[in-house]
Amino acid sequence: MRGFPPIQIFLLALTFIVLAIPLSHLTGTVSHAKAAPVKIEESPSVKSLLRLRYAHKPVTLSLKIADKEVITDIGASPIELQTTLPAPEDGVDVFLSATWAEGTPDTSITLELEPDGLASRSETRWSANGNLDEVITFEWK
């Protein structure tokens, strides 16, 4: 015995509709809650003494910490100044660039950082052919 096809299609459609209503309520609800504002925490900065020593006075000198030019003029060695270091616990990248007059032998530059409450760190770099372009990373752990 075979069923009547229009009634079978009607019952199948009715079953899908009955199941679709609760399913649409479970998956179709959209929350209109506002997202919480993102808090941007400023990284803690620490005052520090920066000391730069060199044997031969460079013609040009650039020292940047966190994209901020720290040394504005070239003075007699050593150059000492107060600066702030951004989050020294994560490490500090110092961009050091210098050039010397032609005929100056390869020379060294020593950079020393003494942050408040942390140990002093010192790094020395040597020039090559009158140029120096270095990224020096200081870490305190």
Residues 110-132 have pLDDT tens digits of 989 888 888 888 989 998 888 88
Band the pLDDT of 140: cuts 50, 70, 90: confident
Please name the residue that has the structure tokens 């803690």. Answer: 44
Band the pLDDT of 12: cuts 50, 70, 90: very high
Q: What is the average pLDDT across 31-41?
A: 70
Tens of pLDDT, residue by residue over 41-99, are 665 778 888 888 988 888 888 888 888 888 877 877 788 888 888 876 678 888 988 88
Q: SS3 for 131?
A: strand
Q: ω into residue 78 within 30 of 0, thus cis?
A: yes
